[in-house]
Structure 1
Amino acid sequence: MASRIDRDVVVETALRLLNETGLDGLSLRRIAKELDVQAPALYWHFKNKQELLDEMATAFFRRLFATTMPAGEPGAAGRWPSWQEMVVRSCAVFRRELLKYRDGAKVISGTRMTDDSFAAPLEHFLGRFVEAGFTAAEGARAWWTAYNYTIGMVIEEQSVHPDPGHPEVRDPAYDLDDRERRLAATYPLAAGAGRTLFGDSQEAFESGLRIIVAGIEAMRGERKGS
């Protein structure tokens, strides 16, 4: 039975089903049904759902880096004109790709890479920081902060707009008019913040990213000043 499928087929099917089922509805049993095999055939490849999620995340990053990395050897500046542009562009592409999958950010969050395909892109990013005068540790912390910010923002964004096929549709729980009516009298600042927090997701993401870039610049400035 197991010879009919391999790990790649299982992962491809899981990613395809994700938009239909969401993360909670995605199970090895559901994937087996889609592939028209018995569930034990999948356990030959993945012991549990977490192992499958790890492989899904690895496949996602492998594709992402293959299509978005600048030309050149790991550590080279490539086409990035500056480290600031590298952070902004790479995180924007990361967000865009995550939004293609329902619960895409939740799938990525907390997973472990199953191979070393992440290492070359990471070497490239850190090399760009080092070329700009950061220490390797500072570059690692800067990239890790921007990376985790992107995942966190997309998790929040996908809770507001859960269907990637209809990003204009808002979960009723995030009705901004209703939120303002409930909070305005007692908590006017919190009421007004709703449209900033849950309104234009693109603008919110870009604003936060600018804050992070400014923080990275300030961190380096403090070290130089000391």
Structure 2
Amino acid sequence: MPKRRPHISEEKIIAASWKLLSDQGIENFTMRNLSKELNVQAPTIYWYFESKQVLYQTLANLVSKEIISDLPKQGDWRERLQLSATVIRSKLQQFPCSGQLLMKSRPEADFMELFECLLQMIEPTSLTDKQKFSYTTHFFNYVINFAVEEYEQRMLQISLEEDHNENTHVDLSQFALLQRMHEEDMFKLMGSDELFNSGILLLLDGIEQRVKKV
């Protein structure tokens, strides 16, 4: 470890981390690669972040803060949750691999505040606390996992494009329904806004039905 504070800032490390995550993905993210990106020795980074996990935690906290700042303040519970889903997904797309970072990090104050904001949206309903907590968890997990799946599909597509010789055709002849839907071009829905929004509406419709029954 360097004995004197190195000539680099935490902000530069964070900016370089986002760039590295965007360029190489979270699978190839290492402190060694980060030091190369910054053109410094690895111990320099450890002056600010004692481990990769601590750096991940910092990035996850920043994403939570960014989401909180853009969450809707007006509207009924359904309107606010629907808009929140779009906000969360947009922020997860803006910050590379941030869905994975949230999943890999332990919940700290910023994450708790984010979840608290979502709970406050559904608080005015007549649902029980158990239902409020469960449904908000399902809602939040759906958005995060959708963003992670988008990333995985993008990485797979890049991999396939790099290997032009690989035969990627899948024989669907023995799967009648899948073949029919493939012919109808349904597979293009994967990772689309339409698929995302239909999932959110399905969740909100389910919650609304529970609200009406209480």
The answer to whether the superposition gives a TM-score over 0.5 is: yes
Instruction: Tell me the distance in 1 between the aligned counterparts of 2:159 and 2:179.
Output: 18
Supply the distance in 1 between the matched residues of 2:181 and 2:160 (Cα, whole angstroms).
18
User: How far apart are the structure 1 equivalents of 2:179 and 2:152?
Assistant: 19
Amino acid at match of 2:136: W
CA distance in structure 2 between the aligned counterparts of 1:51 and 1:24, rounded to whole angstroms: 17
Do structure 1's residue 24 and structure 2's residue 34 form an aligned pair? Answer: no
Alignment partners' CA distance in 2, 1:191 and 1:51: 46
Q: Is the 8 A contact 1:28 1:49 kept in 2?
A: yes
Which of 118, 121, 137 is the aligned partner of 1:125? 118
Pairing 1:153-168 to 2, within 5 Å after superposition: 153-162=146-155
- 1:153-208 CA distance string (max 9 Å, x none): 12222222349xxxxx77649xxx934xx11x211113345554553511111111
TM-score by length of 1: 0.76
SS of 2:94's equivalent?
coil
Aligned twin of 1:199: 189
Q: Equivalent residue for 1:166?
A: none
TM-score by length of 2: 0.80
Choose from 133, 136, 146 the match for 1:143. Answer: 136
Distance of aligned partners of 1:153 and 1:32 in 2 relative to their CA distance in 1, 3 Å threshold: same
Deviations 1:30-50 (A, max 9, x none): 211222221012223333322
Q: 1:58 aligns with which of 53, 58, 61?
A: 61
For residues 96-120 of structure 1, the C-alpha deviation after alignment (integer angstroms, 9 at most, x for no partner) is 2212344342232232245x23344
Structure 1 residue 56: Cα displacement = 0.9
Asked if the contact 1:61–1:118 (Cα under 8 Å) also holds between the matched residues in 2, the reply is yes
Contact 1:105 1:154 in 2 (8 A): yes
CA distance in structure 1 between the aligned counterparts of 2:176 and 2:60, rounded to whole angstroms: 41
1:66-99 deviation per Cα after TM superposition (whole angstroms, max 9, x unaligned): 2x134xxxxxxx31x1211122111111112212
Q: Is contact 1:160-1:171 (8 Å) kept?
A: no
The equivalent residue for 2:104 is 110
Does 1:189 pair with 2:180?
no
C-alpha contact 1:105 1:151 (8 A) present in aligned 2: yes
The gaps in structure 2 that reach 5 residues or longer are 162-167
Specify which of 48, 53, 57 is matched with residue 51 of structure 2: 48
Aligned-pair identity (%): 23
Number of paired residues?
202
Query: Is the CA contact 2:78–2:204 (under 8 Å) kept in the aligned structure 1?
Result: yes
